[in-house]
A and B are shown apart, each in its own frame.
Chain A
């Protein structure tokens, strides 16, 4: 049983505030990802929950116990570091069992637990080696085994995969996800990689400058971004943004572009209002000239992504990109028509950057 409550967390280094009044509730069993650009305070937040960093203000509760003033070892949490932080002077087996041996758990009790985690993580053949004689992926597995064997209340991961190559990263990502489905231990996972966050999270906490910009399931974050910042941060290729004027009938108008918006999603919009439109490249596709919500542009560049291709076009002097499977028939200089459905268009307040979608 370990839900996590963070209340009014403040953290500053000297006069420099890093986290300013953050509130966060993580239910038991949930896999939460802290996502955000580098330097937004993800690690700081994680390290405060771990107890490696003191809070400047606020309380942290884990499983109903106030742990704000407890040392890291007494919080019932285990952490996996980006650098793995294995003990170089110990064998893999000793690395994994150090915590248990330190607590005075008997050898007879440790042996089966070691065997079990080693099996789960495929480390049986490496137990006698020193960490430096393992590959990066194996070292990462040892770090995970070391965290798992203690059966903690909470797992904390700080960018655990960013030192691995793309292939291995994907593999371990799946393994971590699978392990969570089995163990159901409450987990916080820090990353700056939005794709990693989308694929692994039950819920994403998207952070910006020490504040939570949006909290929600990957679908919510992707389909209903609360702000332009979130919309811009999530999704590859990145979202297109167009400043437009609203006309009666909820038509957004900008140069040659005229787009019908969804009345259901944006009931509060008024004609004459200036808005910022967000168009996801992946939500657009080729269409016949004259179709509803069609945009017309000239192909500037075609990027082959395998099954699909990103087509970068110039519309009224600005670049707009979209993704299509039919990219192979296009060449630079062609005139293309592409369209987006009203319910896929995001509308933001150009001043505050907040989404104008109804709650």
Chain B
């Protein structure tokens, strides 16, 4: 009997926590499908006629559409280049220069100690001089600092978990270093590397400050979304909600994938 009460209490507490955690997100998602008059009612409405107008507004709005476009280009380019350069570098660090590996890891961490403004201001000056201020190329370049270093930071341990013996066994069968990397190290480290890429993606997708300072015409989605909120009194709540949903969707999808992957990894256990 006592046990029943305690499980019921635990369940209730968990449910409460979930509501608290998911409430705002749910409200935002609901708001994205409401018309303005359904949002600004004194009594919150749960039953309403859903509309896609807000999304249509966003996708028809050239600023937001461009922002989305810019975000996709900048983020995918910087993550892709970061992966292409960072993953082989991480493998080399993990295998042949372990003592530098630690230094690189600390360097990357130290980048995260630094307030972004500290990079932003010198970068404005440099970019103006180089003539790449307010270009997608400039944004990609500055994001590469984050993506390359984050990829290396997370991929070094991923490669260290690949047993050295397996690479040596492959070498004994005649595989050269490149073949060992492609056919063994990379596939064996792939699950962890995928996680590293997702994390890196989320990091730059959500980046606001550098995008805000280094671009004006070529703003990314977070910048655009931030600017909508400062439109003045006539706040287009529905549009804001829809923009938020749009902004949050890619990271959420990726993190969902990541969690699924982690779960299967945990279930299949260590080798």
Number of A-B contacts (CB under 8 A): 59
Query: Which listed segment binds A: B8-16, B130-138, B161-169?
Result: B161-169
Contact yes or no, A99 B173, CB < 8 A = yes
CA of A299 to CA of B175 in the docked complex: distance in angstroms? 61
User: Using an 8 Å CB-CB cutoff, how does the interface string of A47-74 with B read, 1 for contact, 0 for none?
Assistant: 0001110000000000000000001111
CA of A78 to CA of B172 in the docked complex: distance in angstroms? 7
Q: Which parts of B135-176 form the interface with A (CB within 8 Å)?
A: 163, 165-166, 168-176
Q: Which parts of B181-218 form the interface with A (CB within 8 Å)?
A: 184, 187-188
Contact yes or no, A79 B172, CB < 8 A = yes
CA of A326 to CA of B170 in the docked complex: distance in angstroms? 55
Contact yes or no, B187 A72, CB < 8 A = no
Contact yes or no, A71 B169, CB < 8 A = no
Of A78, A82, A85, the residue contacting B166 (CB under 8 A) is A85
Residues of B within 8 Å of A77, CB to CB, are 172
Of B170, B173, B176, B188, the residue contacting A88 (CB under 8 A) is B188
A102 at the interface (CB under 8 A from B): yes
* A294 CB to nearest B CB, Å: 54
Contact yes or no, A73 B174, CB < 8 A = yes
Residues of A within 8 Å of B176, CB to CB, are 71, 73
Contact yes or no, A102 B175, CB < 8 A = yes
* A271 CB to nearest B CB, Å: 57
Residues of A within 8 Å of B168, CB to CB, are 52, 72, 79, 81, 85
* B232 CB to nearest A CB, Å: 57
Interface residues on A, range: 20 to 34
B271 at the interface (CB under 8 A from A): yes
* A241 CB to nearest B CB, Å: 39
* B169 CB to nearest A CB, Å: 4
User: Using an 8 Å CB-CB cutoff, how does the interface string of A141-175 with B read, 1 for contact, 0 for none?
Assistant: 00000100010000000000000000000000000
Of B172, B187, B188, the residue contacting A52 (CB under 8 A) is B172
* A78 CB to nearest B CB, Å: 7
A85 and B187 in contact, given A71-B176, A73-B175, A102-B175 (Cβ under 8 angstroms): no
Q: Which parts of A104-120 form the interface with B (CB within 8 Å)?
A: none
* CB closest chain-B residue, reference A74: B174
A98 and B173 in contact, given A81-B165, A85-B166, A132-B271 (Cβ under 8 angstroms): yes
Residues of B within 8 Å of A86, CB to CB, are 166, 169
A83 at the interface (CB under 8 A from B): yes
Residues of B within 8 Å of A50, CB to CB, are 172
Residues of A within 8 Å of B175, CB to CB, are 73, 102
Contact yes or no, A85 B174, CB < 8 A = no
Residues of B within 8 Å of A84, CB to CB, are 165
Interface residues on B, range: 10 to 19
* B62 CB to nearest A CB, Å: 47
Contact yes or no, B174 A87, CB < 8 A = no
* A281 CB to nearest B CB, Å: 39
Contact yes or no, A89 B188, CB < 8 A = yes
Residues of B within 8 Å of A99, CB to CB, are 173-174
Contact yes or no, B172 A87, CB < 8 A = no
Contact yes or no, A72 B188, CB < 8 A = no
* A115 CB to nearest B CB, Å: 20
CA of A81 to CA of B165 in the docked complex: distance in angstroms? 7
User: Using an 8 Å CB-CB cutoff, how does the interface string of B108-129 with A read, 1 for contact, 0 for none?
Assistant: 0000000000000000000000
Q: Which parts of A296-355 form the interface with B (CB within 8 Å)?
A: none
* CB closest chain-A residue, reference B269: A132
Residues of A within 8 Å of B173, CB to CB, are 73, 98-99, 102, 150
Residues of B within 8 Å of A83, CB to CB, are 163, 165
Residues of B within 8 Å of A78, CB to CB, are 172
* A53 CB to nearest B CB, Å: 10
Contact yes or no, A103 B165, CB < 8 A = no
Residues of A within 8 Å of B165, CB to CB, are 81-85
A88 and B172 in contact, given A81-B165, A83-B163 (Cβ under 8 angstroms): no
Residues of B within 8 Å of A89, CB to CB, are 187-188
A71 and B171 in contact, given A85-B165, A87-B166 (Cβ under 8 angstroms): yes
Contact yes or no, B163 A73, CB < 8 A = no
Of B166, B172, B268, the residue contacting A72 (CB under 8 A) is B172
A72 and B171 in contact, given A83-B165, A85-B166, A89-B187 (Cβ under 8 angstroms): yes
Residues of B within 8 Å of A87, CB to CB, are 166, 169-170, 184
Residues of B within 8 Å of A72, CB to CB, are 168, 171-172, 174
Please list 14 pairs of residues, one from A and one from B, whose beta carbons are closer than 8 Å in the complex, sorted by A's number. A51-B172, A71-B171, A73-B174, A78-B172, A79-B172, A81-B168, A81-B169, A83-B165, A84-B165, A86-B169, A87-B166, A88-B271, A102-B174, A102-B175
Q: Which residues of A are at the interface with B, using a C-beta cutoff of 8 A? A: 50-52, 71-74, 77-79, 81-89, 98-99, 102-103, 132, 146, 150
A86-B166, A99-B173 given; 5 more Cβ-contact pairs under 8 Å: A77-B172, A81-B165, A83-B165, A87-B166, A132-B271
Q: Which residues of B are at the interface with A, using a C-beta cutoff of 8 A? A: 163, 165-166, 168-176, 184, 187-188, 268, 271
